[in-house]
Structure 1
Amino acid sequence: MNFKIVVVGFSGEFLPSGLAALKRLHRVLVSHELLEAVHLAAPELSELLSPYRRFSEALEALEEARKEDRPLGLVASGDPLFFGAGRVLVRRFGKERVALYPAPSFAQKALARLGYPLEDYFFVSLHGGKRAFGLEDLPGLLRLYGKVGVFTDPDLGPREMARFLVEKESAEGVTLIVAQRVGLPGEAFWQGSPEEALRKDFAYPHLVFLHYEGPGRERGLGLSTAEISHPRGLITKEEVRAVVLHALRLPERGVLWDIGAGAGGVSVEAARAFPLLRVFSVERSPEALDHLRKNRRRLGLFNLEVVAGEAPEALEGLPTPDRVFIGGSGGRLEEILDLALERSRGPVVLTLVLLSHLHRVLALARRRAFSPKLSQISVCRARPLGPDLALFPETPVFVVSLEPEDGGKG
């Protein structure tokens, strides 16, 4: 079988081995973005070059070459296996049919120009349709890693990133470094804030390096009540938060709804412990919302989004949750719980004080074939009594966790 795909990396120039491999072919595919630079770097390839605008066109040409049992070349950006075409081609055609000749990646070249070590960055790609991470993950990634390199797309570049961060109130402490046309004619670098990036135009192809210097790099559970800003007496107690978070079995990534979030006791703990978890804190009280926003900003929890409004209406348009916590219902318990049970992909956990509310929750769970796990948290706190200490009881709290009895929706 003669069919072979020769994939050669290009980052403004070819390495000798890759260029020699292309010269042995009769046709070489190259994207329109790289066409001019390839002409300048290797004019001897000009007669072989076959440009394409979309990668799907290149795949069609490669499939045709396979049918005709002939070799075909493809010029790829930098290192084809570093967020490049190599992964797709190997998976689709088999590694025995793909010969790879990597060049230094555009990220390597850009960081070398800037004097930053490659190893300091966590890299993601926003290029193409299937992506491991999206814009919505950037705030959490910045909290987790501090420095993030982003391979961009013509329709998802520096301005789109900046707009997202600004609109989600996650731009504070973030610096963008935009590397444009690295190794190609018109190479340029720009550095500034997300707000400044909104007013700039950037030449494609580009890479973005995001730097975050601010609070929120710490992870873990166990914030004390004193560390969370809240109206006097209105916060989920530490011992109850611990049981709730255990019952939620939070994933590393996903979506949590905190309904009736108050000042954000549960939301703040969850967002702090899991930077890639998107937490939507739904609250209607203006006073509680002020405390919630203060906690988000002070702790740098930009993966927490404050949703001002009354449930269940405020839940419309939110991403499908993987977990739901209901800490308050504003007199609309059944409506909220019914929607949560319908939408959630995982456990729905509630805290309740009133016996009548517990009865209503258990009745609804039975009607919908959800299996409840019920516990009561009774806590006593030590306080001074004369020259000594005595234990005083806090209000007992019911914690109810609901999941479908058959593993599916109720």
Structure 2
Amino acid sequence: MGNWKTLTMEANERIKQAELFIGAKRLVEPFSYAPTVVSYQPEEIKEIIRITEKQNIVILMSGDTGFYSGTKKLLLHLKEWEVKIYPGISSISYLAAQVGISWEDAKILSLHGREESLEEALFQYDKVFLLTAGKIDLLCQRLTLHGFGDYDIYIGEQLSYPEERITIAKVKEMQQFESNPLACCFLIANGEKKRRASFGIEDELFIRGSVPITKSEIRAVTMSKLSLRKTDIVYDIGAGTGSVSVEMAIAASQGRVYAVECQEEAQQLIEQNKEKFQLENLELVKGMAPDAIEFLPKPDVAFLGGTRGNMEKILTVLQQKNPNIHLVINAITLETVFQALEILKKLEFKNLELVQVFPARAKQVGTYHMMTALNPVFLITADGAVD
């Protein structure tokens, strides 16, 4: 968006009074009747305003100033001046109007320098709006590979400009589509919506090999204790097959999960399960904690499924990285439970809770069903010492 014809009347009045225009080249070109400066970097704009003698200055931004706009960052540099904002029409509103659909029920994502879990959004929402930065062909190849080829796609390029182009098709038909960098799109489920479990995914759905897996019943309770938010940064230490990592990545769909694992076979399984469940926000970290987590981003939550004798060192590093971290530790033996509780008390963690889960599954014997017990598991939860 950037055509001056889509401006409000109030914004047009302010433009007529302008003594200086600042903005990207494509935005300032229509206003050559007044001095213009091509710049979109907040630091540069601040310096231009500081040295100019002009009083009525207009900074031109494309689209809606509150919708994935550079306005937010720019305002932080303009606190010493009085600033008035005049929003334009957003690309989501414009494209929805052009193709005749509503957008109040759409999940909004941006791929402009961001890591967004698009596939997860498509599992959760029937309609997704996406700012793409172009490369529609690669996007559609990726979505088709992951089973979304029959979704409808509404593509808008160079919206509001004379070169505007709108294309409506199936995702799988756009795998060779050459798009303009100024592109956005709607992705809409057509027919049956793809679904997947988010808690306690069936064990059989994971690629397992010979590496032990955390059973689905234990994962369901573990996920409840983790209490993840969508934007959390999470560590899975001793990730094994990655079954818990997968469920955490689904829950923290706008965050990131780091699966820390030292065994080669398990590392391969994590990568395979990441691909199977289409999780762009799950990252394998090869190595053994605490060394492997030293340079990772600060975690909000950590899950310890295996520590290989390094529990105290790991918990110490986690506390140093985030004194307010939330922890869940799973243990099978009493010795591990006692060790964990002793270390957590020593490090002054708070809100300690110990739960033991006794899962059992029915097994058919003739015409009867008998319960077969699985290994009981202890779940320890704790919070950092900071209120």
TM-score class, shorter-chain normalisation, is 0.7 to 0.9
Matching residue of 1:150? 131
1:53 has 2:34 as partner: no
CA distance in 2 between partners of 1:12 and 1:173 (Å):
40
| Superposed displacement of residue 208, structure 1 | 4.2
Identify if the C-alpha distance between structure 1 residues 23 and 292 changes in structure 2 by more than 3 Å, giving closer, same or farther. closer
Structure 1 counterpart of 2:306, one-letter code:
G
* Alpha-carbon displacement from aligned partner over 1:19-69 (angstroms, at most 9, x marks no partner): 85146415141314225641xxxxxx533242241353445566789x98x
User: Contact 1:215–1:299 (CA<8 Å) still a contact in 2?
Assistant: no
CA distance in 2 between partners of 1:389 and 1:20 (Å):
76
CA distance in 2 between partners of 1:274 and 1:144 (Å):
13
Query: Secondary structure of the residue that 1:351 maps to in structure 2?
Result: strand
CA distance in 2 between partners of 1:233 and 1:348 (Å):
24
CA distance in 2 between partners of 1:114 and 1:11 (Å):
19
Equivalenced residue count is 373
User: Contact 1:121–1:148 (CA<8 Å) still a contact in 2?
Assistant: yes
| Superposed displacement of residue 247, structure 1 | 1.9
Structure 1 counterpart of 2:61, one-letter code:
A
User: Contact 1:377–1:398 (CA<8 Å) still a contact in 2?
Assistant: yes
Identify if the C-alpha distance between structure 1 residues 360 and 54 changes in structure 2 by more than 3 Å, giving closer, same or farther. same
Matching residue of 2:328? 349
User: Contact 1:347–1:402 (CA<8 Å) still a contact in 2?
Assistant: yes
Structure 2 counterpart of 1:281, one-letter code:
A
Matching residue of 1:374? 354
Identify if the C-alpha distance between structure 1 residues 55 and 390 changes in structure 2 by more than 3 Å, giving closer, same or farther. closer
Structure 1 counterpart of 2:349, one-letter code:
F
User: Contact 2:286–2:292 (CA<8 Å) still a contact in 1?
Assistant: yes
Matching residue of 1:312? 290
Any residues of structure 2 matched to 1:321-360 within 5 Å, and which? 321-344=299-322, 345-360=324-339
- Normalising by structure 2, what TM-score? 0.72
CA distance in 1 between partners of 2:356 and 2:119 (Å):
36
Superposed CA RMSD in Å reads 4.7
CA distance in 2 between partners of 1:232 and 1:368 (Å):
36
User: Contact 1:139–1:170 (CA<8 Å) still a contact in 2?
Assistant: no
Any residues of structure 2 matched to 1:45-124 within 5 Å, and which? 45-56=31-42, 57-59=44-46, 70-84=55-69, 98=84, 100=86, 103-106=88-91, 121-124=106-109
CA distance in 2 between partners of 1:144 and 1:274 (Å):
13
CA distance in 2 between partners of 1:124 and 1:225 (Å):
31
User: Contact 1:140–1:277 (CA<8 Å) still a contact in 2?
Assistant: no
| Superposed displacement of residue 109, structure 1 | 5.1
Q: Any unmatched runs of 5+ in structure 2?
A: none
| Superposed displacement of residue 323, structure 1 | 0.9
Matching residue of 1:297? 275
Query: Secondary structure of the residue that 2:32 maps to in structure 1?
Result: helix
CA distance in 2 between partners of 1:313 and 1:400 (Å):
23
Matching residue of 1:30? 22
Identify if the C-alpha distance between structure 1 residues 216 and 231 changes in structure 2 by more than 3 Å, giving closer, same or farther. farther
| Superposed displacement of residue 143, structure 1 | 5.0
Identical residues among aligned pairs (%): 24
Q: Any unmatched runs of 5+ in structure 1?
A: 1-8, 39-44, 128-132, 152-156
1:135 has 2:124 as partner: no
1:230 has 2:222 as partner: no
User: Contact 1:254–1:278 (CA<8 Å) still a contact in 2?
Assistant: yes
Query: Secondary structure of the residue that 2:33 maps to in structure 1?
Result: helix
| Superposed displacement of residue 263, structure 1 | 1.9
CA distance in 2 between partners of 1:307 and 1:88 (Å):
32
Structure 2 counterpart of 1:407, one-letter code:
V
CA distance in 1 between partners of 2:364 and 2:71 (Å):
69
Structure 2 counterpart of 1:241, one-letter code:
R
* Alpha-carbon displacement from aligned partner over 1:78-119 (angstroms, at most 9, x marks no partner): 34444446667889679x96363x554455556667787655
1:398 has 2:384 as partner: no
Any residues of structure 2 matched to 1:149-228 within 5 Å, and which? 149-150=130-131, 157-158=133-134, 172=146, 181-184=158-161, 206-209=182-185, 211=187, 218=196, 220-228=198-206
| Superposed displacement of residue 171, structure 1 | 8.0
Aligned partner of 1:253 among 227, 231, 256: 231
Query: Secondary structure of the residue that 1:226 maps to in structure 2?
Result: helix
Structure 2 counterpart of 1:327, one-letter code:
G
CA distance in 2 between partners of 1:99 and 1:375 (Å):
54
| Superposed displacement of residue 325, structure 1 | 0.8
| Superposed displacement of residue 307, structure 1 | 3.1
Greater helix proportion: 1
Matching residue of 1:262? 240
Query: Secondary structure of the residue that 2:241 maps to in structure 1?
Result: coil
Structure 2 counterpart of 1:288, one-letter code:
A
Identify if the C-alpha distance between structure 1 residues 137 and 29 changes in structure 2 by more than 3 Å, giving closer, same or farther. farther
| Superposed displacement of residue 261, structure 1 | 1.6
Identify if the C-alpha distance between structure 1 residues 72 and 381 changes in structure 2 by more than 3 Å, giving closer, same or farther. closer
